[in-house]
Structure 1
Amino acid sequence: MSRLVVVSNRVGPVRESAKAGGLAVAIVDALRAQGGVWYGWSGDVTPEGTHGMLKTEQAGRISLMTLDIDQADYEGYYAGFSNRTLWPIFHYRLDLAQFDRELEKSYWTVNERFATRLYPMLQDDDVVWVHDYHFLALGAKLRAMGARQPIGFFLHIPFPVPEIIAALPGHAALVRAMLAYDVIGFQTKRDARAFIRYFEEEFGGTATADGHLTVQGRTVRVGAFPIGIDAETFRKFAMSPEAHRQGRRLKSSSEHRCHVIGVDRIDYTKGLVERFRAFSRLLEHYPENRGHVSLLQVAPASREDVDAYVDIREELERITGNVNGRFSDLHWTPIRLITRPLQRRSLAGLYRACQVGLVTPLRDGMNLVAKEYVAAQAEDDPGVLVLSRFAGAAEALDAALIVNPYDIDETAEAIQRAVIMPLDERQDRWRQLFDKVQTEDIRAWYSTFLSALGAAGHDTRDAIPEL
């Protein structure tokens, strides 16, 4: 069996991957099945001009290999081009993107450095799987060094339409570098179509109905491979002692009340300000909810060195104070904002105890909170998922109440509908949602992608593009 080599921005954990969720679960499962290497950034930043040695740790059949980056690379490649340029552009926020050729240069340099350290470690029959926007160019660098192994790429965030990505200086070189991958996977069909349309319009590429994109003699497989969760494990989390304690604590503090929950890190893509305004509108337009319905928002801080994130937190705190000042009484607080992270078992218990799950990003690759909320529900008395049409999860979870998060009134109306929804409708919608979450789980995701990579790599590994 071929060895699997996974490349991602961060590496691990291995022994407690289920606690980390998402990508860690999938990677650890796949690596345990095949054996292989998990390679990426260590998370450590060294003084400028120094680059640490390759660090290696063995965990059963899995080799963890990591590199440090220096302060200049952190500021240019990671905090700079990756998160101040690519992240906002890929989330349709050109107004927040920082365009700087020096940042772009740092990005290419670090991709080359990671490829340079990885290439000598590759074996002839390896299968390489690269993840996310930090390493768009890594495959092209490996090919330039002579790598002929099947190499796949999966983007965890949205891919923007050509009109957006074309605003990026140097977009042609960066996006064309992705053709070095044999399989290019996206969260949704919408993202895959946007990628194909880019090459049709910019390079005269052609695509077949089954997603084989041909550009200047190079053919790659492009497709949607929606990531899932470990549904059974998360369902067990929701029934664990810690989850029960959290649920009881919430209910005892506000017995016979309806709880709406949101769980997102503070980020301008998550639509938190719009969500808070929609909840305020609910209390204004449906006054019967005052004293009865409350919003619990778990929003851990992230990237606090970026001004836009600081501004969002301040705005959330301002809206919370305003709404609570206008509507609260001695026995009821409309909005509770928690800005520290909670353990996944605790979150599972809160999901199960809340009658409405509010997942309303302005743009999201997938959003696994939506799937976790569904998995955590009690079958006999499930809650209702209110879901943004701009979350990747909306393609499959169409039995949720789908909303436009920019439309404050529509979102408020959907929350009201969820609050008063009869039991039989809640159960019917939940069954449809849980069937999707259970079927399209994390193992189905990585198995489908690696199967496609195995087939595509076998057919195209000799047709390497000149980049």
Structure 2
Amino acid sequence: MSEKQRLVVVSNRVGPLSDEGKAGGLAVGLADALRRRGGLWFGWSGETTKDGTAGEASRETVGEVELVTIDMTEEELAGFYLGYANRALWPLLHYRLDLVHFDREADRVYRAVNARVAERLKQFLRDDDIVWVHDYHFFYLGNELRKQGFTGRLGFFLHIPFSPPEMFAALPGANDMVRAMLAYDLVGFQTATDRRNFANYAKHELDGQKQPDDRIRVGNRTITAKVFPIGIDAEGFAEFARSGEAEEHAAMLRSNVGRSLPIVGVDRLDYSKGIIERLLGFERLLEQYPDRVGGVQFLQVAPLSRSEVEEYVDLRGEFEGLVGRINGRFATLDWTPVHIMTTGLTRRALAGIYRAARVCMVTPLRDGMNLVAKEFVAAQDEADPGVLVLSRFAGARAELGEALIVNPYATDHVANAIERALRMSLEERQRRWRAMRDKVFANTAADWCRAFLDALEAAEPDGGVEALLPEPDSL
């Protein structure tokens, strides 16, 4: 890839470029690439305005990188983000058709925001820039940039799952959306399943053809669709786990649990994460293995998210009610089985909690990757590593097969896996952990970033990009 070509990153939120213990895998990988190459990171400021203009772009330069953000109007926040992205696309792509809300106005606003972002971004672009767009907020952005006249390299990466074609087809305007994705030269997915679902939709719904070398042809357009499992800054997170802040939180966890063995889960409070099912599995453990009563303690860290969305309000009520039921059934005067935290922690603090845990529960009902699993592995002490219990529906399962793999819907299966993890010998724990550690350190966030950008340069589109998307008539 030419060193003269600037990297332009587009994501819903921007930064940070410096990691102070708060940035996740996406930010770490992108910040490293931007610092090395120089470039621009473009996204939403997190602010809203009532005046209908969404204000001027805010610009900040950090070294060779420019951070550019724009505001949204309150209408855009309601329709684009809270409405369409989080009440239609998020549940649909996580296989939760029962929770999807289709709305004509939200669809219109989502498309309009993609068009406005393209218009605002275009004024900052150079002809030879390489543009990398991220996630489900911006399915239409590549096509809108083509309409604005941009002819350079365009890549897109989906961080969450892509649902099966028979499910995705329930989205009004699904054909419009996938046609718009054909404006990208390279579309990346977390897993082979997600890529296959996308390719099958293009084939069966748009009369597309699968081509050699991960290419897909629809009409006059050929794009590359490949799998790029995202990683973490493994060495950096391992250092976090040895920091003073980590040691302080590890000591607090050990003090709180006393003689009990600590079991932890760390997730945003989201219905895709399987937190309810995980708690039911823990409750079944206490029912089936009464000797564990008083001998284990479960800590669920679940920062609140999307509290404006009704489904998340309902989930919080269910979550807190279930915790109350379990504690009411099994607690004693000197022992409480479940502790919960709905406030966030720094990544150094989390690293300490992971390091002190005997078992880490990563049991999503569906997840693109789930970096908690990789962070847990990176944080472990080789002398006494904990055990990862991992959902078969997490993207991380493809790499971390040495974890105890569970079906989160099968409560007895989850309970038995926890019991097996608690009884596992030190020798087996070390053997499983070493195998997973090798993979986590071999595929880091920086490796993921380089692999995608190399593939974007190598992708050879065939055909024009004009007239990719018909006029919207989806609802």
For the aligned pair, the TM-score class normalised by the smaller chain equals over 0.9
Contact 1:48-1:72 at 8 Å conserved across structures: no
The 1:188–1:17 alpha-carbon spacing in structure 2 relative to 1, beyond 3 Å, is farther
Q: Do structure 1's residue 31 and structure 2's residue 34 form an aligned pair?
A: yes
CA contact (8 A) 1:159 1:191 kept: yes
Within-5 A mapping of 1:244-255: 244-255=247-258
Shift of 1:209: 4.8
The SS at the match of 1:357 is strand
* Deviations 1:280-309 (CA, angstroms, capped at 9, x unpaired): 000000111111111100001111111111
Report the CA distance between 1:18 and its aligned residue: 4.9
Q: What letter corresponds to residue 226 of structure 1 in structure 2? A: P
Whether 1:51 and 2:54 are equivalent positions in the alignment is yes
Q: What is the DSSP-based 3-state SS (H/G/I as helix, E as strand, rest coil) of the residue aligned with 1:410?
A: helix
For residues 20 and 172 of structure 2, what CA distance do their matches in structure 1 show?
A: 38
3-state SS of paired residue (1:295): strand
Distance 1:366 1:259 in 2: 24
Q: Could you tell me which residue of structure 2 aligns to residue 208 of structure 1?
A: 211
Q: Distance in 1 between matches of 2:117 and 2:257?
A: 52
What CA distance in whole angstroms lies between the structure 1 residues aligned with 2:435 and 2:209?
36
CA distance in structure 1 between the aligned counterparts of 2:253 and 2:172, rounded to whole angstroms: 50
1:366 to 351, 365, 369: 369
Equivalent residues of 2:389, 2:404 under 8 A apart = yes
Which letter maps to 2:317?
E
* Equivalent in the alignment of 2:152: 149
Q: Which residue does 2:467 correspond to in 1?
A: 466
The residue type paired with residue 94 of structure 2 is H
Is the 1:18–1:25 contact (alpha carbons within 8 Å) kept by the matching residues of 2? no
SS of the aligned residue for 1:316 comes to: helix
Rounded to whole Å, the distance in 2 between the matches of 1:465 and 1:452 is 23
Q: SS of the counterpart of 1:300?
A: coil
Structure 1 runs not aligned, ≥5 long: none
| Length-normalised TM-score, structure 1 | 0.98
TM-score, length of structure 2 as denominator length: 0.96
Measured in 2, the distance between the counterparts of 1:70 and 1:249 equals 43
Identity %: 54
CA deviations over 1:1-34 (Å, ceiling 9, x no partner): 1100000000111223652122111111000011
**Partner letter of residue 319 of structure 1?**
L
**Number of residue pairs matched by the alignment:** 465
AA at the equivalent of 2:467: E
| Counterpart among 113, 118, 128 of residue 116 in structure 2 | 113
| Partner in structure 2 of residue 433 of structure 1 | 436
Taking a change above 3 Å as real, the CA distance of residues 446 and 388 of structure 1, as seen in their structure-2 partners, is same
SS, match of residue 274 in structure 1: helix
Q: Does 2:298 match 1:309? A: no
Q: Could you say which residue in structure 2 is the equivalent of 1:82?
A: 85
Q: For residues 258-296 of structure 1, what are the alpha-carbon distances to aligned partners after superposition, in whole Å with 9 as ceiling and x for unaligned?
A: 111000011111111111111000000011111111110
Q: Is 2:273 the partner of 1:270?
A: yes
Report the equivalent of 1:421.
424
Residue 257 of structure 2 contacts residue 297 of structure 2 at CA under 8 Å; is this kept in 1? no
Residue of 275, 300, 303 corresponding to 1:300: 303
Tell me which residue corresponds to 2:125: 122
Is 1:235 the counterpart of 2:238? The answer is yes
Give ranges in structure 2 of 5+ residues lacking alignment. 469-475
**Once the 2 structures are TM-superposed, how far is the Cα of residue 48 of structure 1 from its aligned partner?**
5.0
CA contact (8 A) 2:406 2:414 kept: yes
Selected match of 2:328 from 304, 325, 330: 325
Letter in 1 for 2:31: V
CA distance in 2, matches of 1:78, 1:105: 12
Say if 1:99 and 1:169, in contact at 8 Å, map to a contact too. Answer: yes
Native 8 Å contact 1:115 1:141 kept in 2: yes
Name the residue aligned to 1:291: 294
Partners of 1:18 and 1:258 lie apart in 2 by 27
